[in-house]
Structure 1
Amino acid sequence: MSAYDLQPPSVAVSFVNESREQTLIPSRAFCRHGFWHPDDARRALSKRPSKLSACSSGKLRLRVFLDSASGLPAMDRNGLCDPYVVIKFGDQTKTSVVEQHTRNPQWAQSFVFDINAEDEDAVPPLEFVVKDKDSFSSSLIGSVSFSTRQLELEQSQMVELPILQAKSRSEMGTTTRRRIRGTLSFKITKILEPVMESSEPSSRRSSKAATAAVAAAESRGVLEVSVKLVQAEHLLAMDSNGESDPFVKLRLGGKTYKSKTRYKTRSPVWNQMFQFKARAGDDQLVLKVYDWNLTGKSQAMGQCRVTVGDLPVNRSVKKWLKLKHDGADAGEICVMLTVSSLLASPREGPTSRRTSSAPAPAGLRTCGTLEVHVASASALDARDYGGVSDPYVVLELGNFKQRTRTIHKTINPDFDQLFMFPVTDVFDVLRVRVYDEDRGSSDDFLGAVDIPLLEIVNNKTERFFLKKESMLKLYKGYISLTMNLQYAKVPAYLRLIAPRDLNVLEEDDVLSTATLKRNFMRVLSLVERVRAVLRMFDQLFKWQLGAAQSFLFLLFWIFATLRLDTYHVPALFGFGLLVQYILPQTALLGPSVSHLEAADGPRQRRPSKSIRERITSITHIVLSVQNTLGEVASIFERLNNLLHWKAPVLGWVLVSVLLISSLVLAVVPVRYVLLCWGVLRSVRAFHRKYVRRGDPPEPRPPPHLNFLSRVPDNIELLQQQRL
């Protein structure tokens, strides 16, 4: 399917030709991702419809991509400078970021200016003023002027011009040649961006429709870039101990993030996620690695750049990027990059759908396809003023990620969008997340739902109630989805023995006392359930679960020890699984959902705890974890010390027991040993309970643990060591 085979929205823009006549161009000039294609706009002139429900006069703008500069003079005492650029276009002024401690800065920033002049002769020149940032002021390095009158529409032009020194007062009005103080590289493009208008008179237009139209025009062609900073290797040694304290600054589209600092390492691991928004084209992601210093400014260790336009859309990729510092190699940095298109085009009618697909990269083995129709959502949480939100939906399947357009000013959005995903593992889960879009801050969470692929009912519209971020509690609202999964069963089931793909879209783990407590309770629950199974067998031997059950178990034990063979074991496990499937689900190993909900907290709102109560709760959790880890470590250390003859007497006892056991097993088969052990234990317990009728014996630890408890662990060895 071609990008232009989809039905376009009823939108039109105007193109200012050389005779300065405005000509309406239908929206067939936009591709499915909402990007502007001027050649297709000109070809579509002959096919434009006779009536348009919406039109626009269009807006001419100037997009400037400030690339880099080289050969700048030394303005500071260290022989470097801190350059930045002030760009002026008429009465519009914009400033770049400051590149510290370098004479060859790389900004990689995009700026957009409005062309307000009606006549090309009245278009002002584009001026670049390069300055050096000081502590309390700025020093002028030079300037560059470029005329934009001869620019062609939608044709990018890469320009490299010398930076000329500013004239002194005595040189004003003279023809004195100015000294060159470096070169400046930038790309400039004259673009035509559509402005949405309604076919109805302005007096009849609702404010809601106008807001949605403006937002759709602004978000057209915008990409959402997710960057996961994974790790770096072979970084430069910046400290006297041969190590570094690296952190990374990431910049894209005028937004800058800073990672955490990893101390005393040249191979740091971050695993941090960052979100950016950028326009398609020349926007570049800049990663700069710095070494943190306690007493002075951070020192640059290297940098690299990635062009957003070179990345695949709706697919996560892993890249190892080479860092450069003063033209030399400075190590490598690993990032996971995911680019998602923001489909903001309005629908033409109630039955039209905007289709988006995540293309499978070359070499990726797939076993099927998943079609997801995001119909609507209802009763969402209102996160903005006026009791409304700006919701959109993000869908993730494996390492593929797509999102819907944003529906503004509503809590009952109607998306009506269709998405296609390649399926690499039918045992994967479709993750659906709903967010409220905010400008100038992070988007608000509105709900989530996880859908296993094998639980999908094809071509059936279902309502899924949204959950909170913990995925354990119900949240506000629901979402309506229609899904269709098609896959080949044999290739899909053969994937069971293949390793699962690494999910690069997983969010970073954060320290949480509730999560720590829940995980600790999960481990304790598993241990307790294993002990419960072993305790059940012990009670059957001791006739504590009833005479009938214990007698039947004794008969089964005799039959199993006499007749059971190795090939019977898989059949018994399979029979047990069938019984578990037929009978009511009672999990023997693993915490139930109710248990996890209880660990996560009650549904009603709990009163806030004081600082003292919080500290006490944390202390209790940490103390429990400390004691449990100590017991586990002690058991393994005792076993290791026993095998390494740290307790010689117990070592000789173990050797004697093993030799005697070998002689007995050489004469008597194992099945008869187990038969005698089980029958004698059961008969002894029956005699104690029904014949002698004495008090039940006190519970005692197993003999092997009693024997192992006599072996000192590492801490006890250090305490018993003579000085």
Structure 2
Amino acid sequence: MSRSEARAPPAMQNVTRLPAANSVPASRQPPPPTAEDEEDANSYDSDDATTLSMLEFSLLYEEEKNELHCNIIKAKGLKPMDSNGLADPYVKLHLLPGASKSNKLRTKTIRTTLNPVWNETLVYHGITNEDMQKKTLRLSVSDEDKFGHNEFIGETRVVLKKLKLNQKKTYNVCLERVIPVRCTAGAGLKDDEEGEERGRILISLTYNSQQSHLIVGVVRCAHLAAMDSNGYSDPFVKIHLKPDMGKKAKYKTQIKKKTLNPEFNEEFSYEVKLAELAKKTLDISVWDYDMGKSNDFIGGCQLGITAKGECLKHWYECLKNKDKKIERWHVLIWFHLPNEVISLPSSNR
């Protein structure tokens, strides 16, 4: 994957972020249902079976860019949801399995119609071939209610492994009235999200054999979990080469304001011999900057010999292919960190 392709800007100006959700361990008391829970689990009338609602959309997976393009075209014959006999529909996308906010995208709302036309493309970045084999795309249509809970109209699901690589496929399907499995939302995104996906990060690794330097590139992030009340975050990335190498072991990127898809394009260098590098671990963590108080941890990953999956493969390829830049996407997950207050230099604020 070329660097220019990996940095392709997200085509999601009209995306509205929805509350994060995840499954809560049985030993914990679930919090009250959220507005989204009420929307998804909303009861429905007995005449639903006679309502024929159609949704037209197309899917394209670009393997080289690791992008899944979802073009929401139009719907037809939606069930009336408002007193005027019409609806205010929008489409929400959700990759399953995975209930975190980083997996959810949505279109704009089309007002007062039962036959909305969106022609809107939403893009999932950092989607690997492995994801395509394991995940299902859920498309649900709902009615937006300014004065109450949004109401569920119908949904359809596409098993992504059936989609041919690099070939667009158009669907025109009936929406089903399915009561989705209810998920509960963690209020602070900190207590109940062990192992939950919180977004993805594109990292480049290069080992310069002439200078004995490891060059780490923080390229971009995609679909980060929102940590602020405005539905966004102010993300920055922190990297740490361990075992500790003193002050030179830690670096931070600049802060990107009010975004869930930041582009950093920053590189950091570690002076370390190749034999020593094989014994080290690179901690990568993404944070939401909060002025005057502790920054919020969004998610992280670890690269190194003790890592697994793509993280191990990326590290091994770097060690094996000296002087060659290797770029890979990595999943950011929630894991517990020691209590830490991070103060950034004034130049980053």
Mark yes or no: TM-score above 0.5. no
Higher relative contact order, chain-length normalized (CA < 8 Å, sep 6+)? 2
Structure with the greater alpha carbon radius of gyration: 1
Give the structure with the higher percent helix.
1
Give the structure with the higher percent strand.
2
TM-score category (smaller protein):
0.3 to 0.5
Normalising by structure 1, we get a TM-score of: 0.17
